[in-house]
Amino acid sequence: MTENEFNTLADTAFQRIEHALDASDIDYDSNGMVMEIEFDDGSKVIVNRHVPNREIWLAARSGGFHFGWQNDAWISQREGDELYTKLTALIQSGSGSDIRF
């Protein structure tokens, strides 16, 4: 995958996440490359793109997760989880909100 292909796919993923967050009352800040989702208790989930590895990374209290593009989805390289499924679980754990991407 080229860097341009990766950035196009990552842009789409970030837009999808932002759209879902905009429809909720969850606070977040995004600069295009890094998104910080903050919860009432001060904890955060960080979503960022790692261009050299062509991955989207999530960082949370429970750990770090790396997602690569496989079979038309962002899949965790370690656990095999799908990005939006994992992010839904992390947001629910942090905020109690039921969010759908």
Q: pLDDT digits over 4-23, tens only?
A: 999 999 999 999 999 999 99
Q: What is the mean pLDDT of residues 24-36?
A: 91
Residue 90 falls inside a structural domain = yes
Sign, CA torsion 49/55/56/62:
negative
Structural domain harbouring 72: 3-95
pTM here? 0.90
Domain count, the chain: 1
Q: For residue 100, is it within any domain?
A: no
Nearest to 30, CA basis, from 42, 44, 16, 48: 48
Q: Give the angle subtended at the CA of 75 by the CAs of 45 and 56, to the nearest 5°.
A: 45
